[in-house]
């Protein structure tokens, strides 16, 4: 494997074969890839590289793709030359006439770049050298100009871990419906409000394909667990499979279908036929394991005393909370997420009037990114329309419990 090695530390997470990895491209677009040994990863116009060349490298480093599919680690770039002066660009008329190169010449360079005959640096150097207003810019404005061109021409990428924060940000951008529109800052508030600690036993309803269930699981250790109630016979927690969780950690995620909630299970009474075939035996063992798992999950649920109830559901919120509240311990948190406040109003009013809850609150997340530099601090113009609403309360045991 011919890769220039960046400076690495022994405790830095490494990329392993078979891992799911988030690849961030110069355009800031991101995609999830599975690094199967022996395969080639295609990033469209930014090129392709061998998965084997990335296996063993560190997350967060930036790699440039070479013509032969090899990758070279790049030094991190930043606005180090941003000058702290009163200079500005107000006298610069940076219109298309500032660029001396013609459209045809630039397109020719693009084609050569795709073929690998011209590097991105050579294209950017040509553009800056032929830009009449470039030298008049402040150092910071020059850096921003070069960054914009890098997003168009640089054949580079940054591998990122598929942790909770990165996955939430990725799906919020590309497919918010998959995770019911929860934004990373809202998810962090949900985990904080639920008071999820290492040994916590958390009861959850997650109709967002497992993002919240996986997030809760990532906060607990071998002594904790997450118990998820779901639709259908089999849970659809697609997001969990992207998370780098050990088999032992995944075993701590227990699931139970809604229609089994009040199920009365009888002892396993199936008997093998005489002279059973291999299919008979394997089917018998499979059903026996399923019966034992269902019995164990029902016993776990009915033991109650869960440390938190976290809900993100497509169903009526109040009916779901009422159904599961008896399994939640006293002085424990109940947290409900929804994309709209209208679906939480009924439950909010009920909780406010019920003696079983204290400190009932409904909050909305609001987030805007800022550029913070000397004399250049301002909010970015683009922001998300909303991050959802959280309904939270402390469950109090009544005298009857």
Q: Kindly list the structural domains of the chain, giving each domain's residue range(s) and its CATH number in brackets, ordered by start.
A: 14-160 (3.10.330.20), 164-395 (3.40.50.150)
Give the span between the Cα atoms of 190 and 168, in whole angstroms.
13
H helix intervals, 8-85: 51-54
Summarize the confidence of residues 100-123 as an average pLDDT. 70
Nearest-5° angle of CA 34, CA 235, CA 173? Answer: 50
24-28, 33-37, 128-132, range with the lowest pLDDT: 128-132
Per-residue pLDDT reduced to its tens digit, 268-301: 988 888 888 899 899 999 999 999 999 999 999 9
Give the span between the Cα atoms of 298 and 313, in whole angstroms.
21
Among residues 387, 390, 381, 326, which one has the least CA distance to residue 362? 390
Beta bridge partners of 229: 256
Q: Each residue of 43-78: b (16+ CB within 10 Å) or e?
A: beebbebbbbbbbebbbebbbbbbeeebbebeeeee
Which one-letter DSSP state was computed for residue 4? P
Max mean pLDDT among 76-90, 97-111, 239-253, 348-362 falls in: 348-362
16-20, 61-65, 186-190, range with the lowest pLDDT: 61-65
Q: DSSP states of 305-371 as a string?
A: -EEEEEEE-SS-HHHHHHHHGGGEEEEEEEEEEESSSHHHHHHHHHHHH-TTEEEEEEEE-----EE
Q: Count CA atoms closer than 13 A to 203's CA, side-chain side.
A: 27
Beta-strand relationship, 225-230 and 201-206: parallel
Summarize the confidence of residues 156-185 as an average pLDDT. 94
More confident residue, 370 or 329: 329
Summarize the confidence of residues 312-323 as an average pLDDT. 97
11-20, 120-129, 204-213, 218-227, range with the lowest pLDDT: 120-129
More confident residue, 131 or 271: 271
Give the span between the Cα atoms of 36 and 44, in whole angstroms.
18
Question: What pLDDT is attached to residue 243?
Answer: 92
Q: How confident is the model at residue 134 (pLDDT cuts 50, 70, 90)?
A: confident
C-alpha distance from residue 356 to each of 162, 303, 353, 363 (Å)? 38, 20, 9, 20
Give the span between the Cα atoms of 181 and 177, in whole angstroms.
6
CB 226 within 8 A of CB 254: yes
- How many Cβ atoms from other residues are within 10 Å of residue 126's Cβ? 16
Q: How confident is the model at residue 70 (pLDDT cuts 50, 70, 90)?
A: confident
- How many Cβ atoms from other residues are within 10 Å of residue 20's Cβ? 15
HEC string of 211-268 equals HHHHHHHHHCCCCCEEEEEECCCCCCCHHHHHCCCCHHHHHCEEEEEHHHCCCCCCCC
Which one-letter DSSP state was computed for residue 58? B
Beta bridge partners of 370: 379
Please check the confidence at residue 132 and state whether its pLDDT lies above 80: no
Summarize the confidence of residues 254-270 as an average pLDDT. 92
Per-residue pLDDT reduced to its tens digit, 379-393: 888 777 788 999 999
Question: What pLDDT is attached to residue 43?
Answer: 87
Q: Is the sign of the CA dihedral 193, 198, 201, 205 positive or negative?
A: positive
Question: What pLDDT is attached to residue 6?
Answer: 44
More confident residue, 99 or 206: 206
Q: Tokens at residue 76, please?
A: 């991190």
Beta bridge partners of 63: 73, 157
Q: Is 114 helix (H, G, I), strand (E, B) or coil?
A: helix
Beta-strand relationship, 225-230 and 328-338: unpaired
Give the span between the Cα atoms of 64 and 72, in whole angstroms.
5
Instruction: Please state at what angle helix 139-153 crosses helix 120-129, rounded to 10 degrees.
Output: 140
């Amino acid at each position: 494997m011919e890769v220039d090695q960046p400076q690495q530390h022994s405790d830095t997470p490494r990329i392993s074969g078979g891992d799911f990895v988030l690849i961030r491209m110069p355009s800031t677009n991101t995609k999830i890839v599975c690094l199967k040994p022996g395969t080639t990863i295609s990033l469209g116009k930014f090129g392709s590289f061998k998965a084997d060349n990335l296996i063993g490298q560190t997350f967060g480093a930036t790699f440039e793709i070479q013509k032969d599919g090899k990758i070279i680690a790049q030094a991190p770039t930043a606005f180090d030359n941003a000058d702290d002066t009163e200079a500005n660009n107000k006298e610069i008329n940076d219109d298309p006439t500032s660029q001396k190169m013609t459209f045809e010449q630039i397109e020719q360079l693009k084609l050569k770049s795709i073929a690998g005959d011209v590097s991105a640096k050579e294209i950017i150097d040509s553009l800056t050298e032929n830009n009449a207003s470039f030298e008049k810019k402040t150092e910071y404005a020059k850096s921003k100009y070069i960054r914009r061109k890098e997003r168009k021409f640089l054949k580079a990428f940054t591998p990122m871990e598929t942790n909770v924060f990165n996955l939430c940000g990725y799906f919020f951008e590309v497919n918010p419906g998959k995770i019911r529109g929860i934004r990373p800052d809202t998810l962090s508030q949900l985990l904080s409000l639920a008071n999820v600690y290492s040994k916590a036993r958390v009861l959850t309803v997650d109709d967002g394909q497992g993002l919240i269930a996986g997030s809760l699981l990532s906060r607990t250790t071998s002594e904790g667990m997450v118990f998820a109630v779901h639709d259908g016979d089999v849970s659809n927690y697609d997001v969990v499979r992207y998370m780098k969780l050990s088999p032992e950690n995944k075993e701590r995620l227990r699931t139970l279908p809604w229609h089994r909630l009040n199920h009365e299970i009888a002892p396993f009474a199936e008997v093998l036929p005489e002279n059973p075939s291999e299919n008979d035996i394997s089917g018998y063992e499979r059903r026996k394991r399923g019966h034992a798992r269902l019995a164990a999950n029902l016993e776990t649920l009915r033991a109650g005393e869960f440390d938190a109830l976290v809900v993100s559901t497509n169903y009526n919120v109040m009916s779901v909370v009422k159904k599961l509240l008896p399994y939640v311990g006293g002085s424990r948190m109940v947290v409900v997420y929804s994309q709209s406040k209208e679906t939480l109003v009924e439950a909010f009013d009920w909780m406010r009037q019920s003696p079983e809850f204290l400190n009932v609150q409904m909050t909305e997340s609001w987030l805007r990114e800022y550029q913070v530099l000397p004399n250049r601090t301002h909010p970015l113009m683009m922001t998300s329309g909303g991050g959802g609403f959280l309904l939270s309360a402390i469950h109090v045991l009544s005298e009857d419990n």
